[in-house]
A and B are shown apart, each in its own frame.
Chain A
């Protein structure tokens, strides 16, 4: 008999380090020259430097390194796909197994909070220049933080009543506890960034008219795709973002379903499956149209949901959802080989097959690609509209938090340049 992972919705998946265990792990670090881990972090968080700080007994210095390089250092510590980035690059892989960089980072940000450190501060004298950020997700938060650190006046406009975007509404708390997100946001708020919640921005032009010198668009992807098959409109059929958001808002106390089929092979699908299981579903089954090797999900996330008793069936795509009254009753699948078939009893079906942007047409006269995402200059995030920048999922079509941070940092630099040029021109 196997021991299955049993936790509640808000229980964390991974045990944290304490000072002793963090140091033990840091001592495994080879302290590389020109460290490959640091070179492979898209956001430039510089793990080699913060691990060395822990090893040489300087946890506070480590916290400063993380926060200076990555305003979402706490969030990234929890959700970053380490095994594909810094940990895959770790030289120690050549000996046995990589340093657990994510867990060390997590420990450091916990210490930062425990010590009440002010790891990031803006200058005493503010600079001229007001910036608006649309959306309070990872990209916007990064831009807001970096600009506030540089001394600019930043206001974030968010349609929801809470900041964080996908971090607060889209990821299962077992992977990313709300307190971690909230603390990242608190440090950004402490920099003087203002948040306007429950506010839908009319247009970027409207913001400029209200006196903002530059506008950053980090609207994210909030329309979940559903596959257009018969029965997709039945009761009990969800889009992933709605399902995850409902779970977050109710702390897992919602009608999550008894027999749940999750369709998809990315981290969002894994989060939906974990959410269903943690919220009390009897049976949770993931169906993915390709193989595990092709699945975009982090292998650790796949292993984790499997350890909870969730099954994952590959190379089956949904063909039809059969009704049981008004509710979903069965899902019919067709094999990739076009010969296999499956009919699975399910009262709940969650489509985790990607998100699309809400329409950007009203917001501004952007250049959009075929998926409805905003086309920008890759390096600067410039949209082509004067003083309007964009980054994050609304540009890249949905990638990781660490990539949103990386882009946010680059765009913040571009906005600083833009504002300084503008100021100089006056």
Chain B
């Protein structure tokens, strides 16, 4: 029988069927799209951002770096807020709440002044949605004091959050920008000003592969492009870092976090939950593969919980937070030498090349039998060799060596690879 686990979770006071939400983007822009995504298993949606200005769209809107035809490593957009009229969007939300009462809708807004923010969030109450996300983080704005301009200025974050809170009685999630050295002052300012929770990351300011005729990036409009938002797999590690910093920040203790950035699989979602997120938001993978990917996110997460003996998401949310520490706290008393399985080895020599050119010249290459041999005098235990080996379980951690002056003791070691 198929494994079933309860994926329901409370996020910012809102009871959700599961933690999988669409992020505020083209993937959630009208009734038909969102009803389809609910039917396929998404728990809720952060509706596409609504502002107070008509949008003059560009064409094309997107760019992808790397080799065409291969899975995206990243995705660059210069998307605007919703092109629908305010009335249309409110009407879609009303109908969605009527037809899908158990699914959750957060309206996303973006204003330029405190008056804008108060007015915009008041519409959420009219539409009868479950919450509000305030967009303080769009990285490619054409107007001042908006988007990431606001999100990198804690004073503006505080003022706009306060104004947004004054327009609605619904929970407010402040969406943070990664385009700063630290997100914490802005996140703390938002929470102090009355936000219920935080979401991160919005996209990362970027340029991707240039066109060699136009000498510009993508998307290109009449030969010009712009620095604009990057999303997808490449930004996930950056999003994880910001999630960890917020989850471990004493001044943000208890603030519910919704994580965004490069989520394609259940593993990606679990990673963010382990770092303390209570909700995850997804766009890029949906743009690449469609809403249907949520089925494997949900099923895969249930199997993960079954294997680990977890019965609810709360059983594992935040488990990794305490294990991410400052490099100054590392245990530096031992090294682990790699072990080469000469039976599994196919003789490609990649370990030898990388160890020589990028490591410590600690692998000797036997030209006769095409196998690596470890020079223990030079090996520092960096495990670069293991990272380049194309064969499953061929190079694994081997002998553990205590450095001079340190006595053997029990330590925690990684046992599972791939």
Contacts and interface: CB of A to CB of B under 8 A. Distances in A.
Interface of A: 20, 23-24, 30-34, 36, 91-95
Interface stretch (B100-108, B297-305, B347-355): B347-355
A20 B67 contact: yes
Contact of A32 (B67, B69, B350, B391): B350
A30 B68 contact: no
A28 to B, nearest CB: 9
A36 B391 contact: no
A91 B70 contact: no
8 contacts: A20-B67, A23-B70, A32-B348, A33-B348, A34-B349, A91-B347, A92-B346, A94-B346
A36 B367 CA distance: 11
- Interface residues of chain A: helix, strand, loop or mixed (majority): helix
B348 A31 contact: yes
B70 A32 contact: no
B412 to A, nearest CB: 31
Contacts of A34: 349, 365, 367, 370
A33 B68 contact: no
Contacts of A24: 69-70
A95 B346 contact: yes
Contacts of B367: 34
A145 B367 CA distance: 34
B178 to A, nearest CB: 29
Interface centre among A20, A23, A30, A33 (most CB of B within 10 A): A33
Given A20-B68, A20-B69, A24-B70, A94 B347 contact: yes
Nearest to B392: A95
A36 B347 contact: yes
A91 B344 CA distance: 12
Contacts of A92: 346
Contact of B348 (A20, A23, A91): A91
Contacts of B69: 20, 24
A30 B390 contact: yes
A249 to B, nearest CB: 42
Nearest to A33: B349
A33 B370 CA distance: 9
Interface string B325-359: 00000000000000000000111111011000000
A93 B367 CA distance: 19
A229 to B, nearest CB: 50
Contact of A30 (B67, B350, B352): B350
Contacts of B349: 32-34
Given A20-B67, A20-B69, A24-B70, A33 B391 contact: no
B208 to A, nearest CB: 15
B310 to A, nearest CB: 35
Contacts of A31: 348, 350
Contacts of B390: 30, 95
B164 to A, nearest CB: 47
Nearest to B344: A94
A32 B391 CA distance: 13
Nearest to A28: B390
Contacts of B68: 20
A190 to B, nearest CB: 28
Q: Which A-B residue pairs are the 6 nearest by beta carbons?
A: A33-B349, A94-B346, A30-B348, A20-B69, A32-B348, A91-B348
A33 B365 contact: yes
Contacts of B345: 94
